[in-house]
Amino acid sequence: SMVRGSGLFFCISPPLDKNPNYKLIGKSLIIKFKEPLKSDVTYSMSFGEAIKDLHEGNIFKNYSFVFSTGENIDTMWYEGRVLEAFNLTPIANKFVLLYSNFDTSYMRSHTADYITRTDSNGVFRFHNLVEKDYKLLVLDDKNQNKIYDLANEASVGAWLL
């Protein structure tokens, strides 16, 4: 799930169907989930550039909080960079999706197993993945539902490095 507001931006992966409620109280962030979490799953909450020093305002980039609803935390990771194929410029602020089901019709109707965004340099990172094969899709999410359900949403013509 992606949540924005009051300067806050974070991503929960694997994605949830319902965005959680969140509240900032002083130095604390309180998150209340609106649905039960899956059992035996490692969740990663990435905060991007949402955390900053209260005194000097310095951004604490790319902080993640990881927890598991089971006994183990998954440890596989994958990272890369997305570039325009024609001029090799970075593709910034696009969703990168990982699916364990490779069927295109499934991908067009379901959320991904894992989700993240590219940064200003086109870099994306997935951490704490279940060790298995995935299909990767870069998504320009026109209707903001994190599903590849419109013909013009996939970033065709992108290089993955």
Residue 147 token pair: 């599903």
Give per-10-residue mean pLDDT for the chain (161 aa).
48 87 82 94 84 77 88 94 89 90 88 89 92 90 81 62 48
Three-class SS state of 107: helix
Looking at residue 149, its pLDDT comes to 83
Residue 6 token pair: 């009051």
Cβ count near 57 (within 10 Å): 7
Predicted structure pTM score: 0.79
Looking at residue 107, its pLDDT comes to 86
Q: Compute the distance between CA of residue 136 and CA of residue 155 in angstroms, rounded to an integer.
A: 11
